[in-house]
Chains A and B, each alone.
Chain A
Amino acid sequence: MSSQATASAEPNYFEVTKGFKSWALTLDHKRIGLMYLFGILFSLLLGGAFALLVRTELMMPGETISSADTYNKFFTLHGAVMIFLVIIPGIPAALGNIMLPIQLGAPDVAFPKLNLSSFYLWCTGAACLLLSIVMGSVDTGWTFYTPYSLDESKSGAIIPAVFGVFLLGFSSIFTGLNFLVTVHKFRPQGMGWFQMPLNLWALYATALMQVLATPVLGITVLLLFVEHTLHIGIFDPTLGGDPVLFQHFFWFYSHPAVYIMIVPAMGVVSELMTTFTRKPIFGYRFIAYSSVSLALLSFLVWGHHMFVSGQSPLANMVFSALTFTVGIPSAIKVFNWVGTLYKGDIRLQTPMLYALSFIIMFTIGGLTGLFLAILATDVHLHDTYFVVAHFHYVMMGSALVAFLGALHYWWPKFTGRMYPERLAQVCSIGVFVGFNLTFLPQFVMGSRGMPRRYWDYDPEFTIYHQLSTVGAFILGVSLFVVVCYLMVSFKKGRKAPKNPWGGTTLEWDAPSPPTLYNFPEPPVIHELYDYDDIVEDGDNGWVRKPRPAGAPPKEKH
């Protein structure tokens, strides 16, 4: 079948109903995902603006544009917005919501009403978080460490902020729950666990972590909430509570949260690597298993955030040892992706450029993690800019870059429009250069002893800070341009073909944009990552070759 034939047969999901109400009360996973996406892009610009304010303040030692108090609010808001509103929901809630059912060949997620509720929980949570800016703004750092965050003079801002995080947590839990059931119960006949695209494996592993880790964040911030409203004292040392217990609870969630951010990124990159090298992924099973093992191991390592908190040496030893175990699945994945490049037919379109940036930056992020897993060096590097640089390499250089790659990859599918390719390639290089310029100097400052969350610093660090600030602006401009051209192309872009990249997973058998229930007729399950019978066909993108008569059917049923 050709793409034109299906496109005209049934209205796509934009056309099926119109008007505000049809979006506000929609149960269609694609519309919900799209609304998430716009919320997330807005939050990305907001979080980015705070990042630039932070970097501008650090251009010079002493006061550059803001007082110490204001600076503390900037970095807190930057962290909270980027983590809770952008990266955690970025791939799962927005892109996952849109793509997961389509990649499964399913008409929707298992619980569409729950899906819509998650979205409204997210909106309410985001509104509460932003409300705290008006209420005087939190300055506790995104980690809300007690007892600093128990300061009653700041309750006005902290209460809405922690309540917002609580709601965002439940939004995340319900999304994860929905995905788990969808993957279990909506896989079509012919798609066993090991015929699932790797993106689905990653989303599955992510959903598992969302359901198992986020409740602990929920109860932790709820306790913080009652600390402020009722003075319950569980974390308050003056009432006999234990402030360090808060750190344990917080990191029991927040370490898996790092994997909630990075594992879907790995899934996306696996998809991009195979599509743009036009060959099957190298070591499918190893990648699939490593996603799930990362999900499980991520629950055992939270203590490595607390090596200098006064934890016992025995606990430190155990957590250090366990931390190394998460390095291994990560290393396996990198080797497999590089292995996939071997003897491929590599196309350097924008999503692939992001995927390649991901590999480089994830390697840096992962290797610098080794410094922090080693007890002897972590004691020196803990809470310095080295840590800042490390987690930005993982959470931004990897997770956000993969999000951008995924966004470009699936943009033609769910909007039905192409983005401007050349401009996008330039921006992706801008992101790469800007990012590295921002964060490479921070490794050096960190290992030379520059503590994080400092408003003022010693003159010897000036040069590193200035390089970093320049890099941040290159990065900021690039991201801003990306958001702008995407918005423009959403309305005005060239119409996208059904399969612009030559992907083999099921979403490329659905029309662009898909119909209300994704597939006008049930999709045929082909062998995963089989590029043999997909050929380029000019403006129609890629199409499946008609099978020569008499050839044995390749499809599994």
Chain B
Amino acid sequence: MGDSHAHHEGGHGDDHGHGHGSPFIQHHYDDAKHQFDSGKLGIWFFLTQEILFFSALFVAYILYRHHHPEIFAYASHYLDVKWGAINTAVLIVSSLSAAWAVRCAQLGQRRGLIACLVITIVCAFGFLGIKYVEYTHKVHEGILFGRKFDPCVSSGGAQLITKKNECHGTKASQCVPANIDQMPEQPGWQVACKAYEVTYQGAGAARTEVSRAELPVCNMVSTGHGPPRAENPPCWEIQSNPNVCAPDKEGPTVAALVHYGDGRVRGSTFGIDLQCEPAPEPSADGDPHADVSHGPGFGQPLVVPSTTPSAHDLKVQASMGPPPEHTNMFFSIYFAMTGLHGIHVLFGIFVFIWLLIRAIKGHFTPDYFGPIDYAALYWHLVDLIWIFLFPLLYLIH
């Protein structure tokens, strides 16, 4: 980027002979080198702005992690290191093949160029495929960003987000407002609830209730592996999650999770009505465990857990504990960063497909290979950003 570039000694009239081999040298450039250098400088500036584009998210990451390290330590367990590592490898391979493609183009090796571009594109698709698997899993579990953060929690409000678990039921839409006390010394909520299964007719304002039936409380049994299952479906268990509903409310809210055991999705004419009341004080003599033996009932404190957790569950619970407040922020940042990165990968795929078509047509020559070079630089940056994202999001301990 030194001092002035010697150029346009000649005129710019129609007789402006290009004097270079490729037909892709544009008119206003002096020669192939001038075009290539300009493009290269342009792509460097573009990459600079890309870094700044991502920088705000990195700053957000740093700030939130600084203020809430507990959220990050807790929530990163829900990312799968295995998939993250595979993706890192996939991207590195694609970066390598992109670099190789540049070399092939420089040497005029058309076959090699095409092969390298194909490898890059396949890897990019592979990356997005793996990302799709990860995302779907999270969508399924409700481990999403912001207001959509609505994960299943384990039986009885022990508040463990299920890991590699699936929700075996429908979530209640009804939320119970804030004036519920959680006893700090015992798991569970000092609240008494009843859950009803309601069917409706019509939609919107014209919706009317057709029938309602009270559901029994679930009797959860441990399956040894994976989550505990309900013994008596359809039945319900209470869920506590500050993010499930009414996010504008201070304090905790609860929701009901109904287990059907059949995995079917219930339609919009179907709902769960949860009615709760703050429970009376645990007992007059102040013993917080006084009511532990009772199951939840109307006007009675809800007491949990009703299942015997497996040794594995206990270990995970002990190491995890309940999710900190606003655990959703981690996933907001996770989805923002990986989502934006994914969009860049997608854009890269389009670019490489376009380059592949041009390569097949034989456009690139040792005189003219700028676009391959620029795309490869872009691709290295996308790779580099992932190399930062992987440890920052997946490897927090």
Q: Which A positions have Cβ atoms within 8 angstroms of B?
A: 105-108, 110-112, 114, 173, 177-178, 180-181, 184-193, 211-216, 218-220, 222-223, 226-227, 230-234, 236, 238-242, 245, 248-249, 252, 517-522
Among candidates A232, A249, A517, residue contacting B12 with C-beta atoms closer than 8 Å: A517
- Tell me how far the C-beta of A182 lies from the nearest C-beta in chain B, rounded to whole angstroms: 8
Q: Would B4 and A188 count as touching, CB distance under 8 A?
A: yes
A191 contacts which chain B residues (CB < 8 A)?
Answer: 4
Tell me, yes or no, whether B190 is within 8 Å of chain A by CB: no
In the bound complex, how far is the Cα of B5 from the Cα of A191, in angstroms? 9
Q: Does the CB pair B56–A239 fall under 8 Å?
A: no
Q: Is B203 an interface residue (CB 8 A)?
A: no
B185 touches A (CB below 8 Å): no
Given A110-B38, A233-B147, A517-B28, residue A189 in contact with residue B53 (CB < 8 A) = no
Closest A residue to B52 by beta carbon equals A215
For residue A173, which residues in chain B have a CB less than 8 angstroms away from its CB?
49
- A177-B45, A193-B4, A241-B329 known; 18 other A-B pairs, CB under 8 Å? A106-B28, A181-B38, A184-B38, A185-B37, A186-B7, A211-B45, A212-B49, A213-B52, A216-B53, A218-B53, A219-B55, A222-B340, A230-B146, A233-B147, A234-B60, A240-B329, A252-B56, A522-B10
A231 in contact with B146 (CB, 8 Å): yes
> Inter-chain contact count A-B, CB under 8 Å?
148
The interface residues of chain A lying within 8 Å CB-to-CB of B57 are 219
Q: Quick one: given A188-B7, A240-B326, are A245 and B63 in contact (CB under 8 Å)?
A: yes
Question: 0/1 per residue, B178-201, Cβ < 8 Å to A?
Answer: 000000000000000000000000
Q: List 20 A-B contacts (CB under 8 A).
A: A110-B38, A177-B45, A178-B42, A185-B5, A186-B7, A186-B38, A188-B4, A211-B45, A213-B52, A215-B55, A219-B55, A219-B56, A223-B56, A231-B145, A231-B147, A233-B332, A239-B332, A242-B64, A245-B63, A522-B11
A211 is contacted by which of B5, B48, B328 (Cβ under 8 Å)? B48
From known contacts A233-B145, A239-B147, infer whether A212 and B52 are also in contact, taking CB-CB under 8 Å: yes
Counting from the closest, the 6 A-B pairs by CB-CB distance are A240-B326, A233-B146, A231-B147, A215-B53, A517-B12, A215-B52
Query: In the complex the two chains form, what is the Cα distance from A233 to B325 in whole Å?
Result: 14
Check if B63 sits within 8 Å of A242, measured CB to CB: yes
The reply to whether A185 and B34 contact each other, CB–CB distance below 8 Å, is yes
Q: Does B54 sit within 8 A of A, measured CB to CB?
A: yes
Q: Report how far A327 CA is from B54 CA in the complex, Å.
A: 30
If A234-B332, A239-B326 touch, does A184 touch B146 (CB 8 Å cutoff)? no
Minimum C-beta distance from B250 to chain A (A): 10
Contact at A522–B9, with CB atoms within 8 Å? yes
Report the Cα distance A255→B59, complex, angstroms: 18
B287 close to chain A: CB less than 8 A: no
Residues of B within 8 A of A521 (CB): 11
Q: Report yes or no: B146 in contact with A232, Cβ–Cβ below 8 A.
A: yes
Residues of chain A within 8 A (CB-CB) of B56 are 216, 219-220, 223, 249, 252
Give chain B nearest CB distance to A97 CB in angstroms.
Answer: 14
Q: Knowing A219-B53, A231-B147, say if A106 contacts B8 (CB, 8 Å).
A: yes
**Whole-angstrom CA separation of A455 from B328 in the bound complex:** 38
Q: Give a binary string over B147-173; 1 marks a CB under 8 Å from any A CB, 0 the rest.
A: 110000000000000000000000000
